[in-house]
Structure 1
Amino acid sequence: MSEILTHAVHDTANADLGAHQPKPTAVTEGLTEASVTAYQSGRIATGLWECTPGTFTARRDGYTEICTILSGRVTIEVEGQDPEEFGPGDVMVMPSGWEGAWVVHEPLRKHFTTIDD
Structure 2
Amino acid sequence: MTEAVILSDAFTAPIQPHRAKLTSTTPGQTEASAEVWGADGLRTGIWEVTPGTFTSTRDGFHEVCQILSGRATIEEPSGRTFEIAAGSLFVTPAGWRGTWTIHETLRKSWAVFTLPA
Q: TM-score band (shorter)?
A: over 0.9
1:73 to 67, 71, 95: 71
- Match of 2:46, as an amino acid? L
Q: Deviations over 1:42-101 (max 9, x none)?
A: 100001000100000000000000000000001010011421001111101000000010
* TM-score normalised per structure 2: 0.95
Question: Which residue of structure 2 aligns with residue 47 of structure 1?
Answer: 45
User: Paired residues, what number?
Assistant: 115
Q: Aligned partners of 1:76, 1:109: CA distance in 2, in Å? A: 15
Question: Which residue of structure 2 aligns with residue 63 of structure 1?
Answer: 61
Does 2:12 correspond to 1:25? Answer: no
Q: Aligned partners of 1:59, 1:24: CA distance in 2, in Å? A: 13
Question: Which residue of structure 2 aligns with residue 105 of structure 1?
Answer: 103
Greater CA drift, 61-70 or 75-84: 75-84
Identity among equivalent positions (%) equals 41
Aligned-pair Cα RMSD in Å: 0.8
Structure 1 residue ranges (4+ consecutive) displaced by more than 6 angstroms after TM superposition: none
Q: Secondary structure at the match of 1:96?
A: coil
Q: By percentage of residues, which structure has more strand?
A: 2
- Match of 2:32, as an amino acid? A
Q: Aligned partners of 1:72, 1:12: CA distance in 2, in Å? A: 14
Q: Aligned partners of 2:49, 2:6: CA distance in 1, in Å? A: 21
Identify unmatched segments of 5+ residues in structure 2.
none
Question: Which residue of structure 1 aligns with residue 9 of structure 2?
Answer: 11
Identify unmatched segments of 5+ residues in structure 1.
none
Q: Secondary structure at the match of 1:37?
A: strand
